[in-house]
């Protein structure tokens, strides 16, 4: 086993960067800053064959919330007196500006994702302005996924239907739990009964893709609480559910409350694992299947194209204050209107980041994983896969030489991905390495 669990793709990415000897996160990118003029130079050309073969997306960040959840430390702030109409106009202007570049115009986009913050703090008129600019200036693929993150208290049925008329075809609703006690700990609005009622009303009215977020392993969460959350997910006819083990982020209100001993929170791996497995097994028994390590979906009901853009190293245009993405061979982080950090993507390491992304889907195919890597890599990966199979994390897939993850493998999925990447990076290294 592992002494510490990587709970997210970002944790695994930090493990990968450590193996590559790179400074972590934004710091590493800032050390190799480029100017926006370098990006524009590439954008004046059309996409090459490599770019045309990958999915493309747009990430639109709305950094405002009506209320800050206790566990959150993301790039967001309470809306206060923010001029949201002006912010919507800024986003629309950015879409128009990007649409003028041949690199953007000549290849359609598969996914548009509104994240935050809480994008639905914007008015219907604000969304209309943005989506009109999107249709006027950006080429969209047929059936383009237009997804909006939201809380329940600022997405009533009428607003959902209005946004659907404008082209939104997927909502991701941050519910986290239906337990009254849990909702209080996590700083949610509404009690559990009202939350469930609102979800049922939305499901009855909205015909697009409806996903929700559930957090497990929060302070003192009982087996009864996680069981009820799982049962509601099954009964409510949602299309998908993202289920996350609570991550305690420095700077969040919950982290401060635990540090000040106002909230008692002790958990161990077995406690965490028990809740993960209970939730996973209840939903898979009801017909859900793994979409990625932390997401289950009813078969054929949620393509989640946005995450494919991210994990397959596709172009992702970042728009809005606090948005991050990648475009034309550069990583881009938009700080504020007119201010962007830009750094070149290291092609030497690109394949490893893509492998990490691909492994989020839970399929381990040594031949595919070794594509584009030095000779001897496939053998090293296969040896590592066989070892992981012996440890109970992988089982043979239905066809070919691929393996799929067991429930324990899904629970430890990010740790396992980093261990396999270690074998791919150092194929001659024989000793067993556990990254913590």
Phi, psi angle pair for 346, to nearest 5°: -80, 110
Calpha distance 89→427 (Å, rounded): 51
Is 80 exceeded by the pLDDT of residue 403? Answer: yes
Residues 6+ positions from 133 with CB-CB distance below 8 Å: 91, 92, 93, 95, 96
Domain limits, the chain: 1-31+347-436, 48-311
In contact, 363 and 97? CB cutoff 8 Å: no
For domain 48-311, give the CATH number: 3.20.20.70
Nearest CA-CA partner of 253 in 67, 71, 116, 64: 71
- 140-152: pLDDT as tens digits: 999 999 999 999 9
Q: In what order do the strands lie in the sheet with 394-396?
A: 363-364, 403-405, 394-396
pLDDT tens sequence across 13-60: 999 988 988 655 544 444 467 889 999 999 999 898 888 999 999 999
> What are the pLDDT digits (tens) for 335-375?
888 889 999 998 888 999 999 999 999 999 999 999 989 98
């Amino acid at each position: 086993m592992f002494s510490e669990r990587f709970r997210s793709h970002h944790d695994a990415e930090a493990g990968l960067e450590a193996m590559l000897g790179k400074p972590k996160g934004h710091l590493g990118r800032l050390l190799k800053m480029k100017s926006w003029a370098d990006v524009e130079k590439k954008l004046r050309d059309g996409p090459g064959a490599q770019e045309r073969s990958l999915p493309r997306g747009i990430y639109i960040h709305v950094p405002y919330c009506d209320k800050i959840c206790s566990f959150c430390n993301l790039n967001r702030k309470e809306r206060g007196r923010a001029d949201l109409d002006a912010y919507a106009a800024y986003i629309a202007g950015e879409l128009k500006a990007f649409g003028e570049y041949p690199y953007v115009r000549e290849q359609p986009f598969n996914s548009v994702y509104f994240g935050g913050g809480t994008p639905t703090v914007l008015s219907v008129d604000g969304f209309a302005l943005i989506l009109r600019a999107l249709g006027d200036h950006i080429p969209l693929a047929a059936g383009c996924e237009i997804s909006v993150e939201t809380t329940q208290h600022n997405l009533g049925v009428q607003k959902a239907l209005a946004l659907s008329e404008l082209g939104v075809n997927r909502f991701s609703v941050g519910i986290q739990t239906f337990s009254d006690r849990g909702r209080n700990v996590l700083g949610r609005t509404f009690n559990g009964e009202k939350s469930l009622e609102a979800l049922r009303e939305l499901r009855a009215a909205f015909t697009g893709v409806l996903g929700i977020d559930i957090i497990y392993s929060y302070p003192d969460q009982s087996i009864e609480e996680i069981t009820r959350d799982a049962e509601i997910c099954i009964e409510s006819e949602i299309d998908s559910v993202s289920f996350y083990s609570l991550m305690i982020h420095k700077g969040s209100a919950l982290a401060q409350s635990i540090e000040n001993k106002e909230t008692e929170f002790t958990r161990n791996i077995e406690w965490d694992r028990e809740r993960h497995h209970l939730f996973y097994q209840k939903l898979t028994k009801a017909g859900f299947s793994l979409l990625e390590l932390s997401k289950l979906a009813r078969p054929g009901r949620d393509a989640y194209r946005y995450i494919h853009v991210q994990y397959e190293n596709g172009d992702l245009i970042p728009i809005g204050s606090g948005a991050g993405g990648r475009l034309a061979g550069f990583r881009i982080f938009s700080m504020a209107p007119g201010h962007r950090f830009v750094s070149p993507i290291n092609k030497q390491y690109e394949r490893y980041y893509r492998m990490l992304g691909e492994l989020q889907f839970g399929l381990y195919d040594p031949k595919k994983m070794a594509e584009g890597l030095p000779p001897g890599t496939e053998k090293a990966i296969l040896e590592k896969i066989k070892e992981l199979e012996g440890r109970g994390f992988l089982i043979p897939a239905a066809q070919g030489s691929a393996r799929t993850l067991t429930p324990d493998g899904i629970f430890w999925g990010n740790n396992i991905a980093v261990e396999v990447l270690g074998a791919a990076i150092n194929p001659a290294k024989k000793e067993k390495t556990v990254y913590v």
